[in-house]
Structure 1
């Protein structure tokens, strides 16, 4: 399954529109206006909440919790190692998903037990960030899209610059 995730440029909060391969709006992710910790709500095209994403308030490295409407919960955390490569880890009750990527090349791969389950490619446009997201399994769609939004929040600090750690 393919999705295009576009960050809204003129918004007072983190906001994404996510389109399917038919260029139909499939999901919207919106953050809060004022909060101590970062967070987003992922909604489907029927405007129903699908997931809530919240940052852990105190952590050594950026850590977020994703709670889905079906009660499913997971954690996504930026890893310390390897030092010169970006890596995130999604911990779910069933498995761990490793997200390896190069922030400077804007390319990410999601893998579970050695199998690639998703691929993300970021292209720069003149005014906004756009991500192409290829997802192998339909049951992973909302988890992967939530994780891509988290990675974008971690990469860009509040000043709009790119974080290198």
Structure 2
């Protein structure tokens, strides 16, 4: 399954659609401007909140949290030793770890579990300059979770780049 994310600069208060491969709006990422911490809600086309993404309070390293139904689903942070490429670790609450690596700011990276590709994030498939694609490779993978992971990793990389 391929999705197209309209890639505006992520920020508080920004809203943008994620379309399926047929151009239909599937998810809306709704940036919440009046919150103390950076927060996004990922909604379905009918406006139901599927996933909430927010910056974690009191973390030694920049960390984003993904929640579903008020329950923490995953935490995402940059790996400590990642010299050449961006590497992020996604820790799911069940103990599963996903690895995210590649050139995040260029929107060319992958999400893997135990060496198996789950999703590719790339601009190569699209002719639109301000968009990138999320290709969910495994049929049994959760597309909303993988898209939320991509949103989090890109936001973490942008924030790190701004601080440099």
TM-score by length of 2: 0.83
Alpha carbons of structure 1 residues 12 and 55: separation in structure 2 relative to 1, 3 Å = closer
Aligned to 2:74: 74
What RMSD over aligned residues (CA atoms) do the two structures have, in Å? Answer: 2.6
Aligned to 1:151: 153
**Uncovered stretches (5+) of structure 1, i.e. residues with no partner:** none
Q: Is the 8 A contact 1:156 1:163 kept in 2?
A: yes
Q: Is the 8 A contact 1:7 1:15 kept in 2?
A: no
Q: What's the CA shift for 1:143?
A: 0.7
| Distance (whole Å) between structure 1 residues aligned to residue 162 and residue 88 of structure 2 | 14
Q: Alignment partner of 1:156: what SS?
A: helix
Output aligned runs, 1:111-126, within 5 Å. 111-122=112-123
Output aligned runs, 1:32-43, within 5 Å. 32-43=32-43
**Equivalent pairs, count:** 159
Alpha carbons of structure 1 residues 125 and 163: separation in structure 2 relative to 1, 3 Å = farther
Q: What's the CA shift for 1:89?
A: 0.9
Where in structure 1 do 4 or more consecutive aligned residues deviate above 6 Å?
Answer: none
Alpha carbons of structure 1 residues 118 and 12: separation in structure 2 relative to 1, 3 Å = closer
Q: What's the CA shift for 1:35?
A: 3.1
> Per-residue CA shift, 1:37-94, capped at 9, x if unaligned?
2111000011111011111122232211111138461111122212232111111115
TM-score by length of 1: 0.83
Output aligned runs, 1:1-165, within 5 Å. 1-8=1-8, 13-69=13-69, 71=71, 73-92=73-92, 93=94, 95-103=96-104, 105-122=106-123, 129-138=130-139, 139-157=141-159, 162-163=161-162
